[in-house]
Amino acid sequence: MSLLAPAVIAVRISWEKRRNRGDVFVKPAPFNYVKPSSVGDALSILGEHPDAVVLAGGQSLLPMLNMRLVAPSHVVDITGLPALNEISVADGWLRLGALLRHCDLAASQTVAEAAPLLQEAACHIGHPAIRNRGTIGGSLALADPAAELPACLLAIGGRIEIQGLDGKRVVEAATFFTGTFETVLKQGEILRAVEVPVLAAEYRSVFDELARRHGDYALAGLAALGRINNGNVRDLRLAFFAAGDKPALAVTAAQFLEGKTLSEANIDEAVTLIGDDIHPIGQPGCGEQTKLHHCGVLAKRALSRMAA
Give residues in contact with another protein (CB under 8 A).
Answer: 11-12, 15-16, 20-33, 35, 55, 58-59, 62-63, 65-68, 75, 77, 79, 103, 126-130, 132-133, 210, 212-217, 219, 284-287, 289-290, 293-294, 297
- What lies within 8 Å, CB to CB, of 107 at 6+ separation is none
Nearest CB to another protein, comparing residues 31 and 93: 31
- What lies within 8 Å, CB to CB, of 199 at 6+ separation is 115, 156, 225, 227
Nearest CB to another protein, comparing residues 37 and 88: 37
Q: How many other CB atoms are found less than 10 A from the CB of residue 145?
A: 27
Q: How far is the CB of 206 from another protein (least distance, A)?
A: 16
Nearest CB to another protein, comparing residues 259 and 282: 282
Element (H, E) at 205: strand 203-210
Residue 188 zone, left/alpha/beta (φ > 0; ψ -120 to 50; rest) = left
Please state whether beta strands 74-77 and 53-55 pair in parallel, antiparallel, or not at all (unpaired). Answer: parallel
Nearest CB to another protein, comparing residues 122 and 160: 122
Q: How far is the CB of 227 from another protein (least distance, A)?
A: 27
Q: How far is the CB of 301 from another protein (least distance, A)?
A: 8
Q: How far is the CB of 97 from another protein (least distance, A)?
A: 18
Q: How far is the CB of 258 from another protein (least distance, A)?
A: 26
Q: How far is the CB of 126 from another protein (least distance, A)?
A: 7
| Cα Rg of the chain (Å, integer) | 19
Q: Both ends of the chain: CA-CA distance in Å?
A: 42
Nearest CB to another protein, comparing residues 2 and 59: 59
Nearest CB to another protein, comparing residues 128 and 259: 128
